[in-house]
Chains A and B, each alone.
Chain A
Amino acid sequence: MSEKTLVKATTAEIINHWILAVSCILLIITGYGFVFKMEGIYALFGSNTTMKWVHNWTGVIFTFSLAGTLFNYLGEALDLSRDDWNWIKLGGGYLSKKHVQVPPMGKINTGQKLYYLAILAGGFGIAVSGLAIWLLPGMRTLIQVSHLVHNLAFVLFVVAVPAHIYLGTLANPGLLRIMIDGTVPLEVAKKRYPKWMKELGI
């Protein structure tokens, strides 16, 4: 079956997204290992020090990957308008079994914008505080603040990331494809991203 498709994500964006996703999940798993001193998780990595090494360097990869997303999503995410507010009021159309007509969206919708901004802020906080704990000498107040910031951001991640995975897979059949080959069927795109289509002149 041949269908007209539209390229929504570039190869670089897709690769970076997967680096971000895999590193994030690895960090969350080792993070739980640290928070609850879970010997079973430590055992996966061999020794206590190995797991710390993996966590720290995965954190570095995550940080660079997160910085990479700035070029892909920040402009879109900051482009908030009246439509976004109305989208929020309708819960993005997720709160009803029936089809809900939401305001026209651009390349990414309000939920994705807010998710991105939250991940960006949380990611910045978790990266800076992590580096502080890792590299700066053991100053008490500094470690206390960093530990608190690191764990607050951790809570944000363990709530937001599963929600993001659900919305990108089960909740929206066909969406995962964008993070695999980068394409969307043209007809679906017209329905989902009318504002973006307008920009493209389609």
Chain B
Amino acid sequence: MANTNENRKALLISPELCIGCRGCQTACKNWNQLSSEKTKNSGTYQNPPDLAPTAYNIIRYSEVPSESNPVRWLFVSRRCMHCGDAGCMKICPAPGALYKTKEGAVAADRDKCIGCKLCVAGCPFNVPRYDSSNKISKCTLCSDRIAEGLSPACAQTCPTGAIRFGDRNELLASAKKAGYSKVYGEADLTGLGTLYAFKDAPKIYGMDENPAIPESVIFWHNVLKPLSVIGLGGAVAGALLHYAVIGPHKDDEEVKKS
């Protein structure tokens, strides 16, 4: 489904180009009208500390020294990954609450969200957050902007090209051309909408090597869901078959006869 979407748009993030200015965080809040929250200094520049209902994207500041660079500092811009095969959509029980835009983004309709939090369980990347009225609150790839031909606010404001927006296929091709033989998210979960050009192993940047929908959700989707239909159908069919072939107990009649 997602793979064949020729219109699929994506973000390509290059941590090595990021200067950690946090312009993307500010632009995101600005466009999506998200308030800021009071946070505490915990000894890192990372602020806010994590994605939040009012923080759709953050820059992760991790110090990961390497042999050649004892002060290597990695800035990783994080947000919804806009999975092709999205675990949140798979598990969501509310019709229309989470949906794919025609550009392949995973967007949310607050009015249809029932606040069950199952998407938190289904997301391979721990992205969905809930606001104070118990509704999902997350990055939509600025669906409202891209529908009008604009770039998402984060990409628009990024001064270094660390966050680039465009046709997914073109972004992949340009990353390959720039020498990245592997692009994070090219094929995972039938392709992510947030791609990363990592120079080192994804783990160094704090990302799962092989992101996947949680096993319990896969088991539910592939086994329990069909079983709930087969089970009900089987029980009803079994009852009718028993009635037709063997028939009811006749305690009452037997008592009357005797």
Contacts and interface: CB of A to CB of B under 8 A. Distances in A.
Interface of A: 32-39, 42, 48-49, 51-52, 93-97, 99, 133-134, 138-140, 143-145, 147-148, 151-152, 154-155, 158-163, 166, 170-174, 185, 187-188, 191-192
Interface residues of B, number: 46
Interface stretch (B3-11, B115-123, B163-171): B115-123
A159 B231 contact: yes
Given A158-B232, A173-B250, A35 B93 contact: yes
B251 A48 contact: no
Contacts of B217: 144, 147
A161 B219 CA distance: 23
Nearest to B231: A159
Interface stretch (B20-28, B152-160, B177-185, B238-246): B238-246
B19 interface: no
Contact of B117 (A133, A148, A161): A133
Nearest to A158: B232
A38 B225 CA distance: 13
Nearest to A147: B121
A170 B239 contact: yes
A95 B246 contact: yes
Nearest to A149: B216
A192 B248 CA distance: 14
Contacts of B114: 48-49, 51-52
Given A152-B224, A162-B235, A171-B242, A37 B94 contact: yes
Interface in B212-258: 214, 216-217, 219-220, 224-225, 227-228, 231-232, 234-236, 238-239, 242-243, 246-252, 254-255
B130 interface: yes
A162 B232 contact: yes
Contacts of A174: 251-252
Nearest to B92: A37
Contacts of B235: 158-163, 166
B91 interface: yes
A171 B126 CA distance: 50
Contacts of A95: 246
B95 to A, nearest CB: 5
Contact of B216 (A51, A134, A144): A144
A140 B214 CA distance: 10
A152 B219 CA distance: 11
B122 to A, nearest CB: 8
B225 A143 contact: no
Interface string B90-108: 0111111100000000000
B109 to A, nearest CB: 10
A172 B254 CA distance: 12
Contact of A159 (B128, B220, B232): B232
B112 interface: yes
Contacts of A36: 225
A140 B121 contact: yes
A51 B115 CA distance: 12
B95 A148 contact: no
A171 B239 contact: yes
Contact of A154 (B115, B118, B228): B228
Contact of B243 (A96, A159, A171): A171
Contact of B214 (A93, A139, A144, A188): A144
A94 B246 contact: yes
Given A37-B93, A143-B117, A174-B252, A97 B239 contact: no
A143 B220 contact: no
A34 B93 contact: yes
Contacts of A147: 91, 118, 121, 216-217, 220
Interface string B126-158: 101010000000000000000000000000000
